[in-house]
Structure 1
Amino acid sequence: MKPSATTSYVALLRGINVGKAKRVPMAELKALVESLGYTDVKTLLNSGNVVFRGPKGKAADAAKRIEAALPGTFGFEAKLTVLDAAQWAELLADNELLDQMSDPSRLVVAVWRNAAARAGVEKLAAQDWSPDLFTTGRHAGYLVCTEGILASKAAMALDKALRDEVTSRNWATALKIGAMLEPAKP
């Protein structure tokens, strides 16, 4: 692949390394993504965040390829969502709740997998979840969980309604992923 024909992507795996089920060592996940021909593969934290380079315009293809390879490597299925670097920059820019957030670990970014999941997130965001705040952007919903994620009725409703069709990260993690996607400075 020519460097100009590639772009950076982020893959977000849902539901891994929570409790004892679906354990995925990040070094093995990195090796799996590299084995599919992707380059500059890096992981962040232990929750299934993978940044890599691949052919431009192929986010959906990358999602399918990585998702299909998971059972053979780890023995279970897991859903994942892939966005390119430009989409991730939009995701960060779209957050209208920054000035109403006091703790980045209580601001949830719920990234949807498809148009149906987007509609589901938008429907939930249109409801009143006081004291929590809930809005949407081009690629994700944003939820400020005033009393914490585990105490948030909106976060519980989001998980119950959409399960594997969204994957969530807190704002601090979203920013770290964004920094990983930035091009290297000369």
Structure 2
Amino acid sequence: MTKKVGTRKYAALLRGINVGGHKKVPMAELRSVLEGLGHGDVQTYLQSGNAVFSAAQKDPAALARELEAAIEAHFGFRVACLVVDGDHLRAVADACPFPAAELEGRQLHATFFSEQPAADRFAALAAADFLPEEFRLGDRVLYLYAPQGLGRSKLAEALARPAVVKGIDATTRNWNTVAKLVELTRA
């Protein structure tokens, strides 16, 4: 499908859907919701709430609010959505402080934030207590190196505490998904 003139590619990252039978959002219906909002070139990736679409250049936060309202109207429950444009996704991939090409996708994760968190939110985490796991903050993203994977990560657990993420929408993707979303949002 050809991208329309005057549009940009975006990725929608839905938080906490299709996990343990809760907040079921079939990808075909998600594509329909996005198309119903007037977006084009709609694709989904995996069943975990990743969608790519083109839209007239808009504020990603406004696109996220529109999508959240449309999902709630269609499915009857609220889902936090983050929308990022392809340029931001590429910048996230390019700025990765870890050797992504040398790691398995399950070892490297990116947590996307709705706004830039203050660095002092992370000050209470003693980095040495979590080695060899590490994290670095970027532009509205946190990079997490977890050599044993996210499911076994003590650092991921600490980073998810309310004191760290309170008031900011956040959702995490493994590096394989980040790389695929970068590919799908190329103009």
TM-score (norm 1): 0.88
Change (3 A) 1:81 1:151: same
Q: Which blocks of at least 5 consecutive residues in structure 1 are unaligned?
A: none
1:97, distance to aligned residue in structure 2 (A): 0.6
Aligned counterpart, 1:178: 182
Distance 1:126 1:92 in 2: 25
Work out the CA distance in 1 between the residues paired with 2:11 and 2:144.
21
Query: What's the RMSD between the two structures over aligned residues?
Result: 2.2
Counterparts in 2 of 1:172 and 1:35: CA distance versus 1, 3 Å: same
How many residue pairs end up in the alignment? Answer: 180
Contact 1:6 1:54 in 2 (8 A): yes
Q: Residues 18-97 of structure 1: matches in 2 within 5 Å?
A: 18-97=19-98
Q: Deviations over 1:104-152 (max 9, x none)?
A: 112111000123xx22696269740311011122131110112221221
Indicate the percent of aligned positions where both proteins have the same amino acid.
34
Structure-2 residue corresponding to 1:141: 142
Give the residue type in structure 2 aligned to 1:176.
Answer: K
| C-alpha distance in 1 between matches for 2:70 and 2:147 | 38
Give, in angstroms, the shift of residue 75 of structure 1. 1.6
List per-residue Cα deviations over 1:44-103 (Å, max 9, x = no partner).
000110100111133121111001111111121110111111111111111111269532
**1:9·1:181 contact (CA, 8 Å) conserved in 2?**
yes
In 1, the alpha carbon distance for the partners of 2:133 and 2:54 equals 36
8 A contact 1:25–1:46 mirrored in 2: yes
Which residue does 2:160 correspond to in 1? Answer: 159
Amino acid at match of 1:141: L
2:173 counterpart residue number: 169
The SS at the match of 2:38 is coil
Gaps of 5+ in 2: none
Counterpart of 1:34 in 2: which secondary structure? helix
Check whether the contact 1:122–1:135 (CA below 8 A) recurs between aligned residues. Answer: no
Do 2:8 and 2:54's aligned partners in 1 also have CA atoms closer than 8 Å?
A: yes
AA aligned opposite 1:17: N
2:115/2:140 contact within 8 Å kept: no
Query: Are the counterparts in 2 of residues 125 and 136 from structure 1 also a CA contact under 8 Å?
Result: no
SS of the counterpart of 1:167? strand
Give per-residue Cα distances to partners, 1:150-172, cap 9 Å, x unaligned. Answer: 22111112222327721000000
**Partners of 1:109 and 1:169 within 8 A in 2:** yes
The structure with more helix, counted as a fraction of residues: 1
Q: For the Cα contact (< 8 Å) 2:100–2:108, is it kept in 1? A: no
Amino acid paired to 1:40: D
CA–CA separation in structure 2 for the residues paired with 1:126 and 1:82: 28
CA pair 152-79 structure 1, distance change in 2 beyond 3 A: same
Equivalence for 1:3: 4
Contact 1:17 1:47 survives alignment (8 Å): yes
